[in-house]
Structure 1
Amino acid sequence: MSAAALHTRICDMFGVRYPIVQTGMGWVSDARLTAATANAGGLGILASATLSYDELARAIADVHARTEAPFGVNLRADAPDAARRADLLIKERVRVASFALAPKPELIDKLKSAGLVVVPSVGARRHAEKVAGWGADAVVVQGGEGGGHTGPVPTSLLLPQVADAVDIPVIAAGGYRDGRGLVAALAYGAAGIAMGTRFLLTTDSPIAEAVKRRYLAATVTDTVVTEALDGVPQRVLRTPFVDAIARPALPGRRLVRALGNARAFRKLSGRSWLSLLREGRAMRGHGLRYDQVLLAANTPMLIRAAMVEGRPDAGVMASGQVAGLIDDLPSCAELIERIMAEAEAVLERLA
């Protein structure tokens, strides 16, 4: 592997200088962080799940005002207005549409026909094969080390498995922070790396300083995977608040807490009670209790309490295990420059 290997298929596909992606994190990946990543030569992805349609339109305009480089927007494929948001991305000349859940083939076709690159995120080989068959241009594969919703298979096993199974570019996520990781991912067959926690811990990240300090103080064993939030495994920083949520409690007490969070999320997001109930009805199909349904529907409020309001002990902080290896807060430009220099040094040493 030579230094030329650091210019991969996704560099040309996305129109970026380096094979580095900043993931779309709710309440974190705002216009500033997205544009800072784009200006540094990576692919910045704007998070939209916690934004209303009008807020998303303003955020996209803000990114355009900050950079002329390509960037992406992360959409919820199951959002009631997903098609309308897709139209907005097309209208505003967004380069990449990323998804945490697999979009339907019709939505993929719609975006691709308009010239967008479609990149879903998956946590299993069969899901990668499915979206590749539906026409996705590339796929982000997150191993169990990653933050937020995650699976049980570590990146070192999942990544080569998926790379062998599909012909589209595979972007590795879960456990990446430096140039050594980039070279390792390329050796496993990836076309680049995607990082969430590492970009969260930059000076361009909008989260509160108290929360950043909590992340920096974490060790590799200070995260926990819990299903208590929405019935699906999520990796978050361990705190007394998270332990309390995961601890068995009387359903009535949980319901009161969940209702309060739901009321606050509905006010901020503009969502109607009807839409929350519809979403909850779908979740009931997964066997969740009603208090779990409400907690799942308003988990964004728990994340907001920590990330936006700066109350790490009163909210939820999604985190990859890699937080335990991060001890500084560079800018996005400094971070990406350092990763690429480290990767080149590793290749030179191996040669």
Structure 2
Amino acid sequence: MNTGAGSTAADAARTYPALRTRICELFGVRHPIVQTGMGFVSGPRLVAATANAGGLGILAGATLDLAELATAIAEIRQHTTQPFGVNLRADATDAGQRVDLLIREQVRVASFALAPRPDLIARLKEAGVLVVPSVGARRHAEKVAGWGADAVIVQGSEGGGHTGAVPTTLLVPQVVDAVDIPVIAAGGFFDGRGLVAALAYGAAGVAMGTRFLLTRDTTISPEVQRRYLEAGVDGTVVTSALDGVPQRLLRTEFIDRLERSGPLRRLARSARSAARFRRLTGTPWSRLLADGRAMRHSRELTWGQVLLAANTPMLLKAAMVDGRADLGVMATGQVTGLIDDLPSCAELIDRIIAQAQTVLDDLQGRGPDGDRR
């Protein structure tokens, strides 16, 4: 079992205190780099590989049922002794049971895509589990900080999946000035230059999704990864056609057709997707309806938008699990247009830290031998 031995390049970077940030101590990791909990992407293999490389890997728990989540946590533990996190849906009807599972398993971090209720935060914190919600607006960061969150992931508009309209370069310093907890910057990061830039804005590290998706440690099919690698910075689209809420996806013929279709056709497709999702997972209609009511309340969606949201799990699965890029959707950050390789997680994190050190050397006017130029 690989327990996460450090590399020469990464260890050398420890000479810079700036690269040992608040989240390193908080999470118990070597480097201020977080791999986000991407549905159908962030499985046990990717999470364990990230943890062993010195970052914080986050398991995508929202697309797993309770039993599958327990199995995935056990599988991660078979491959690493390092800390990791689990992403949960705060509006799930069984959110309380999932929180209980994380507490029993002594998972280090509970990550939330939506603001968790204060009572869930309190239960987790009392049990020693760190709470790290993801937000896209200053007011949301202020709210979860006031409720006791330990840190917050702040995603700018460049990020993939559901996203807001404010760029990372404006949102991160705004949130850093508004809250006292560590801020982790997300949206547009893929290398050591970005890490140093995030630290300069006052963030305590970076969170990356697309960059980790494009590694050899994911289970994504080569065909789907090829589609990501071939996309340019203009190869993404922010659309509400999928589930009624803006999200950034790879632009494909399927997405173009979806955007051209009318509301009634979208609703019909959503109803079919909901039925297919129910058959696949065995989820009772009563559970789907209860989740829909919770989603409608937490996101202030109309019932039409809730029905549209039934598209998302099955269409993401079609691409990310089944490899059908022609029939599914692929969430992505704009940064996909700047990525052209598939390193391992260890190679990626080592490279980021080594490049960050070089950037800091250059900023201080020092050469590679340490002498001031």
Give the TM interval when normalised to the shorter protein.
over 0.9
Partner of 1:271: 283
The verdict on how the C-alpha distance between 1:38 and 1:250 changes in structure 2, with shifts beyond 3 A counting, is closer
1:110 has 2:123 as partner: yes
Deviates most, 168-177 or 263-272 = 263-272
Partner of 1:4: 17
Opposite residue 127 of structure 2, the aligned amino acid is A
Partner Cα distance (1:33, 1:284) in 2: 32
Q: CA deviation at 1:169?
A: 0.2
Aligned equivalent of 2:266, options 240, 254, 266: 254
Q: CA deviation at 1:232?
A: 1.1
Q: CA deviation at 1:321?
A: 0.1
The residue correspondences of 1:256-335 to structure 2 (distance < 5 A) are 256-281=268-293, 286=300, 288=302, 290=304, 292-335=305-348
| Aligned 8 A contact 1:52 1:270 in 2 | no
TM-score (norm 2): 0.91
Measured against aligned partners, the alpha-carbon deviations of 1:152-188 in whole angstroms (never above 9, x if no partner) come to 0000000000001100000000000000000000000
Aligned equivalent of 1:99, options 112, 115, 120: 112
Q: CA deviation at 1:66?
A: 0.8
Measured against aligned partners, the alpha-carbon deviations of 1:234-288 in whole angstroms (never above 9, x if no partner) come to 000001111111223261x334322221122112333211222234445667464
Partner Cα distance (2:61, 2:296) in 1: 25
1:186 has 2:192 as partner: no
Aligned equivalent of 1:60, options 65, 73, 80: 73
| Aligned 8 A contact 2:58 2:85 in 1 | yes
| Aligned 8 A contact 2:91 2:295 in 1 | no
Partner Cα distance (1:235, 1:134) in 2: 29
Partner of 1:213: 226
Partner Cα distance (2:63, 2:342) in 1: 25
Partner Cα distance (1:21, 1:281) in 2: 31
1:158 has 2:178 as partner: no
Partner Cα distance (1:289, 1:242) in 2: 22
Match of 2:261, SS state, is coil
1:46 has 2:53 as partner: no
Q: CA deviation at 1:229?
A: 1.5
| Aligned 8 A contact 1:302 1:314 in 2 | yes
Q: CA deviation at 1:293?
A: 3.0
Unaligned runs of 5+ residues in structure 2 are: 1-14, 365-373
The verdict on how the C-alpha distance between 1:65 and 1:304 changes in structure 2, with shifts beyond 3 A counting, is same
Opposite residue 287 of structure 2, the aligned amino acid is S
Partner Cα distance (1:4, 1:234) in 2: 36
| Aligned 8 A contact 1:171 1:194 in 2 | yes
Partner of 1:348: 361
Match of 1:274, SS state, is helix
Partner of 1:237: 250
1:223 has 2:239 as partner: no
Partner Cα distance (2:81, 2:280) in 1: 30
Partner of 2:134: 121
Partner Cα distance (2:220, 2:278) in 1: 22
Partner Cα distance (1:54, 1:282) in 2: 22
Aligned equivalent of 1:168, options 163, 169, 181: 181
Partner of 1:197: 210
Q: CA deviation at 1:294?
A: 2.5
Match of 1:163, SS state, is helix
Partner Cα distance (1:153, 1:237) in 2: 19
Match of 1:224, SS state, is strand
Partner Cα distance (1:32, 1:140) in 2: 22
Match of 2:158, SS state, is coil
The verdict on how the C-alpha distance between 1:268 and 1:187 changes in structure 2, with shifts beyond 3 A counting, is same
Match of 1:207, SS state, is coil
Opposite residue 250 of structure 2, the aligned amino acid is L
Partner Cα distance (1:283, 1:12) in 2: 34
Match of 1:183, SS state, is helix
1:14 has 2:21 as partner: no
Partner Cα distance (2:17, 2:301) in 1: 50
Match of 2:249, SS state, is strand
Deviates most, 228-237 or 195-204 = 228-237
